[in-house]
Amino acid sequence: MTDGHAESTDEMLMVRYKRGDRDAFAELVRRYQKPLYNFSVRYLGSRDAAREVTQDAFLRVVKRSADFKHESRFSTWIFAITRNLCIDELRRRRHRNHPSLDDSREGSVDLAEKVSAGGANLDGEKGAANNELRKGIISAIDRLPEEQREVFLMRQIGGIPFAEIALITGTAENTAKSRMRYALERLQRELSEYEEYARALR
């Protein structure tokens, strides 16, 4: 990796990539591969499908690099691409009318990892509590309505501002905020049974 790439903005890296700098694109992949995968695996519930969507998202970036407008944020653009690929995959599944062969919802999720940070070394009851809390969070996220889940994931995993989430989802910013609020309220209700587990981790 050439000097300066790690400190460059995403948008600067896209300019360099369009000028033929392959290291700039490699840096973008390094920054976004895990967030896009984590978003996709929670959206689709399949690790195999998430890997394919993530790969396809970067391929779209390569093919459509000329379409990127530099007054826009790269994060907004690539998450919009990834979201659309996830929606297309769900439509194909409904058309096929059968579930994915890999329908595991135990994929790597930053949010759950953050909540369970430090729990791997806990023994006995605290270790069990940490594991139960992590499973409960993942399950609760998966049960969110699709419109709420995608806003929650973009905000929590992607760190995307609400104004940009609104652009990606084609809604008003207040609508995106409302969906996030409803998602958080629903998660709070569904996770109330894990309150004791959460206390055990403090």
Task: Please indicate whether residue 164 or residue 110 has the higher confidence score (pLDDT).
Answer: 164
115 token code pair: 């909540």
The answer on 162 and 82 residing in a single domain is no
Q: How far apart are CA 202 and CA 198, in angstroms?
A: 7
Length of the chain (residues): 202
pLDDT of residue 123: 46
What is the number of structural domains in the chain?
A: 2
pLDDT of residue 99: 43
The answer on 102 and 2 residing in a single domain is yes
Q: Quote the domain boundaries for residue 163.
A: 109-202
DSSP code for 67: G
User: For the chain, what is the mean pLDDT?
Assistant: 80
The answer on 47 and 9 residing in a single domain is yes
Instruction: Tell me the CATH number at 66.
Output: 1.10.1740.10
The answer on 28 and 5 residing in a single domain is yes
Q: Out of 45-49, 85-89, 117-121, 141-145, pick the least confident.
A: 117-121
Task: Please indicate whether residue 104 or residue 7 has the higher confidence score (pLDDT).
Answer: 7
The answer on 154 and 74 residing in a single domain is no
Cα dist. 103→42, 48, 68, 93, 99 in Å? 11, 9, 34, 12, 7
The answer on 163 and 143 residing in a single domain is yes
Is the model's pLDDT at 113 over the cut of 50? no
Is the model's pLDDT at 117 over the cut of 50? no
Percentage of residues of the chain with pLDDT beyond 70: 75
Q: Out of 86-90, 114-118, 154-158, pick the least confident.
A: 114-118
Neighbours of 134 (CB within 10 A): 20
Handedness of CA 131, 115, 143, 187 (dihedral sign): positive
Task: Please indicate whether residue 174 or residue 111 has the higher confidence score (pLDDT).
Answer: 174
152 token code pair: 């929650």
Q: What is the pLDDT of residues 32-50, one digit of tens each?
A: 999 999 999 999 989 999 9
Last residue of a domain, which of 52, 81, 106? 106
The answer on 120 and 95 residing in a single domain is no
The answer on 115 and 98 residing in a single domain is no
pLDDT of residue 157: 86
Is the model's pLDDT at 26 over the cut of 50? yes
171 token code pair: 């809604």
The answer on 90 and 33 residing in a single domain is yes
The answer on 137 and 38 residing in a single domain is no
The answer on 73 and 140 residing in a single domain is no
CB 107 within 8 A of CB 50: yes
Which pTM value belongs to this model? 0.73
The answer on 151 and 118 residing in a single domain is yes
In what helix (H) or strand (E) does residue 34 lie, and over which residues does it extend?
Answer: helix 22-44
